[in-house]
């Protein structure tokens, strides 16, 4: 597919779902991968073992992405072990849905802290090293619901819309240093987050898509691998959907 040998990648939310598929694929393409997790230590370790079995190196790293100190610590740990960070994928995310007339300030704030501030924290922490190296690939994971909004998701849609604006602004800040920044917008993907939707909403998501099926984490990982590769070196500031035509 693509050669990522000698590349060092950080994948936030690499313990489960889309992030785990991304970490495994980048590792199988030769990248050394720092697999971030918050609570799922065993699952992060399984991803690390799979990458090592495929012949590359990996380590699991606990960090709550909403903490800037945690982000700096993780970026420093990857740098100490491998000397550099070339690729950042921000897949850590959560939803905590509720209609706006019932959403609590806590519900709003936690989703903003994890999904939006968590993305900032990691881009901020890798940016100096990437600028110095004059190479970098930043790939954020947004959602089609950050583009179109969704019933019951004002917090999530605001965070994911913010991720898109942040990615475009970061592309402008970092472009001169040859650091590309792109955002991937999945539609309905079968993960624990996707599965947590009520059956009725899952069916609506499938019916909305022109391909009439849910996506797999690997569908998202394939695009991320391309964006991380040399081949994508002239693509920056883009938002690319992986949604089976759910939001055309
Ligand atoms: N599934 C979908 O249909 C879909 C659609 C569009 C966009 N997305 C986006 O894709 C990304 C991955 O989603 P997913 O479906 O793979 O979700 P998932 O299966 O629920 O996995 C969520 C991941 O995020 C991590 N995470 C959550 N809070 C964290 C925190 N505070 N600090 C560090 N890590 C944290 C989890 O780590 P621990 O378990 O270790 O805590 C886990 O690895 C998210 O940004 C999500 O918004 C998903």
Nearest CA to ligand 1 atom 23: 13
pLDDT-derived band at 126 (thresholds 50, 70, 90) equals very high
Convert the pLDDT of each residue in 5-18 to its tens digit: 999 999 999 999 99
**Ligand 1 centre and the CA of 193: distance in Å?**
7
By the 8 A CB rule, do 100 and 154 touch?
Answer: yes
- The domains of the chain are located at 8-242
- SS3 state of residue 15: coil
Asked if residue 153 has its Cβ within 6 Å of ligand 1, the reply is no
C-alpha span between 246 and 174 (Å, rounded): 31
Measured from the Cα of 65, ligand 1's closest atom is 32
**Ligand 1 centre and the CA of 13: distance in Å?**
6
Convert the pLDDT of each residue in 30-82 to its tens digit: 999 999 999 999 999 999 999 999 999 999 999 999 999 999 999 999 999 99
Convert the pLDDT of each residue in 195-230 to its tens digit: 998 999 999 999 999 999 999 999 999 999 999 999
Convert the pLDDT of each residue in 142-182 to its tens digit: 999 999 999 999 999 999 999 999 999 999 999 999 999 99
What lies within 8 Å, CB to CB, of 95 at 6+ separation is 111, 153, 155, 156, 193, 196
Which helix or strand (DSSP H or E) is residue 130 part of? helix 118-133
Q: Which fold has domain 8-242?
A: Rossmann fold (3.40.50)
**Residue 1's pLDDT is what?**
79
**Ligand 1 centre and the CA of 37: distance in Å?**
10
Nearest CA to ligand 1 atom 11: 91
**What is the maximum alpha-carbon separation in the chain?**
51
pLDDT-derived band at 84 (thresholds 50, 70, 90) equals very high
**Residue 215's pLDDT is what?**
98
Asked if residue 189 has its Cβ within 6 Å of ligand 1, the reply is yes
């Amino acid at each position: 597919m693509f050669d990522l040998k000698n590349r060092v990648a950080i994948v936030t939310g690499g313990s489960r779902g889309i992030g785990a598929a991304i970490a495994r694929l980048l590792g199988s393409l030769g990248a050394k991968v720092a697999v971030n997790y918050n609570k799922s230590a065993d699952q992060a370790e399984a991803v690390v073992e799979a990458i090592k079995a495929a012949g590359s190196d990996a380590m699991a790293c606990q960090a709550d992405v909403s903490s800037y100190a945690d982000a700096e610590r993780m970026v420093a740990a990857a740098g100490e072990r491998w000397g550099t960070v070339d690729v950042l994928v921000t897949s850590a995310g959560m939803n905590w849905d509720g209609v706006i007339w019932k959403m609590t300030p806590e519900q709003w704030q936690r989703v903003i802290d994890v999904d939006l501030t968590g993305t900032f924290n990691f881009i901020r922490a890798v940016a100096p090293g990437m600028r110095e190296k004059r190479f970098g690939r930043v790939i954020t994971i947004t959602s089609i619901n950050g583009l179109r909004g969704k019933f019951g998701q004002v917090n999530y849609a605001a965070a994911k819309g913010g991720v898109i604006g942040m990615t475009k602004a970061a592309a402008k800040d970092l472009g001169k240093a040859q650091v590309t920044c792109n955002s991937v917008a999945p539609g309905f993907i079968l993960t624990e987050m996707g599965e947590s939707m009520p059956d009725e909403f899952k069916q609506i998501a499938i019916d909305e898509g022109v391909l009439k099926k849910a996506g797999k984490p690997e569908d998202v990982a394939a695009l991320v691998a391309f964006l991380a590769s040399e081949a994508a070196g002239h693509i920056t500031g883009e938002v690319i959907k992986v949604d089976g035509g759910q939001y055309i």
